[in-house]
Copies of this chain bind each other. A is one copy, B any other.
Amino acid sequence: MKIMSVTIKDIARVAGVSYSTVSKALNNSSLVKDTTKQRIIAIANKMHYEPNYAAQKLVSKQTKIIGLIWPTIDRVVLSSLVTQINKKINQTPYSMILSVDSVQASLDRFKRFQVDGIILFEESTDTTIKHDTIPLISYGVSRDNQMNYPIIDPNHEKAMYEAVKYLIELGHHSIAYIGDFSASDPLQVTKYHGYKKAMQHFGLPLDKNHQIDTKGLDWYNGYSAGNKLLKNTNLPTAIIGGSYDISAGVIRCIKEEKLNIPQDLSIISCDNVPEMEKLEVPLTCIGVPIDHLANEIVKSMIMYIENKELEPCVKKMTPVLSERNSCAKK
Contact = CB atoms under 8 A, between A and B. Distances in A.
A114 interface: yes
Interface string A62-86: 0001000000011010011011001
A183 interface: no
A113 B115 CA distance: 10
A77 to B, nearest CB: 11
A80 B308 CA distance: 37
A52 interface: yes
Q: How large is the interface on A (under 10, 10 to 19, 20 to 34, 35 or more residues)?
A: 35 or more
Contacts of A109: 65, 95, 97
A54 B50 contact: no
Nearest to A108: B50
B3 A220 contact: no
A33 interface: no
A279 interface: yes
Interface of A: 1-5, 48, 50-55, 57-58, 61, 65, 73-74, 76, 79-80, 82-83, 86, 90, 95-101, 105, 108-109, 111-114, 130, 132-133, 219-220, 223, 248, 252, 256, 278-280, 308
